[in-house]
Amino acid sequence: MASLPTAGPSTRSASRMVRRFRRNFSAMLGLTLFVLLILLAVLGPLFTVDPLAQELVNKLKPPSAQHWLGTDQLGRDVWSRVVHGAAISLRVGFLVVALSALVGVVVGLLAGSLGGAVDNLLMRFTDIFFAFPSLILAMAIAAALGPNLNNTILAVAAVSWPVYARLVRAQALALREREFVEAAKALGSRTLRVLWRHILPNSLTPVLVQASFDMGGAILTAAGLSFVGFGAQPPTPEWGAMVSEARNYIDVAFWASVSPAVAIILTVLAFNLLGDALRDVLDPRGRD
């Protein structure tokens, strides 16, 4: 049997998309920040000292040739801690998004393509998660599981997946009526095959855009949880925990709390800019 084309409505060529992306200043800025961040996380540790090493005689020292971003209240090198924090935050963001997208996509696909009672049940379940402030729920989950970084990832993922379920369900509902899906069904494709070959690939665009925004959101939420003590625990060089630890010394050593905060801002900014750019390029309807 000849396989049906899986391409959706878009006939715009990939090279035109790339051109459009490259002409967009904020897209390029986002991409540059993103690449720098990856480089920092991967190669950065080569240019650092032990982020946990304390040197109390050198505490709260301003930036210098030896300590590029100064030292904190325990005499630890802030630059080394910020650099090691990059890998931590990227890992948190990536795992949260991967977990929640996986759960959300499965729930949304099932609801949108099976319809009926299954759809109703799954979406009402999703609605419950939409119904209360995510940070409070994440905090309850993180507190219950015990405060550490892995549980923070689970807690944030547990409150992030419903968006994907709604997105994918809406896509699946719309795609179900399209000719190429009808044709596949008429040719005798089984439901699972239709889901996998036709509905899933065509639902991925909005998922990708959402995932980029959620990377930033997840990093912010996880940093907030760590800040109030439900995430990474000292002495882990996690950015939110670092701000929390150094906040009482802000008047004598602002670099110790401002540096990790700036790192958070730049990282979240990078993913938000990328999300905007991806939406502009991939999803013509959402463009402003």
Partner 1 sequence: MATGYRLSLWVIDMFAYLIRRLFFVVFVVWGVTFATFFISQVVPADPALAALGDNAREDQIKEFRERNGLDKPAYVQYAVYMNKLLHGDLGQSLRTSRPVIDDLREFFPATIELSLAAFFVALLIGVPFGVIAALNQNRPPDVIVRILALLGGATPVFFLGILLLQVFHAQLGWFPGPGRLDPYALTPPRVTGFMTIDTLLAHDPRTFWDSLYHLVLPAVVLGSASAALLARMTRGAMLEVLSQDYIRTARAKGASNSAVILHHAAKNAALPVLTVLGGLLGGLLSGAVLTETIFSWPGIGRYVTTSASSLDFPAVMGVTLLAGLVYATINLAVDLLYAYIDPRIKYG
Residues in contact with partner 1 by the rule CB under 8 A: 26, 124-125, 127-128, 131-137, 139-146, 216, 220, 223-224, 227-230, 240, 243-244, 247, 250-251, 254, 257-258, 261, 264-266, 268-269, 272-273, 288
* 234 prior amide bond cis, ω within 30: no
* In the complex, least distance from residue 89 CB atom to partner 1, rounded to whole angstroms: 12
Torsion of CA 265, 271, 273, 275, to 10 degrees: -150
* In the complex, least distance from residue 204 CB atom to partner 1, rounded to whole angstroms: 24
* In the complex, least distance from residue 200 CB atom to partner 1, rounded to whole angstroms: 28
CA distance 226 to 245: 10
CB–CB of 267/89 below 8 Å? yes
Judged by CB, which is closer to partner 1: 12, or 247? 247
Phi, psi of 158 (to 5 degrees): -65, -25
Judged by CB, which is closer to partner 1: 4, or 143? 143
| Residue with the two structure tokens 């419903």 | 162
CA distance 100 to 233: 24
* In the complex, least distance from residue 282 CB atom to partner 1, rounded to whole angstroms: 18
Judged by CB, which is closer to partner 1: 195, or 260? 260
Judged by CB, which is closer to partner 1: 202, or 259? 259
Measured CA to CA in angstroms, residue 61 lies from 41, 58, 242 at distances of 25, 6, 16
Judged by CB, which is closer to partner 1: 189, or 236? 236
* In the complex, least distance from residue 244 CB atom to partner 1, rounded to whole angstroms: 8
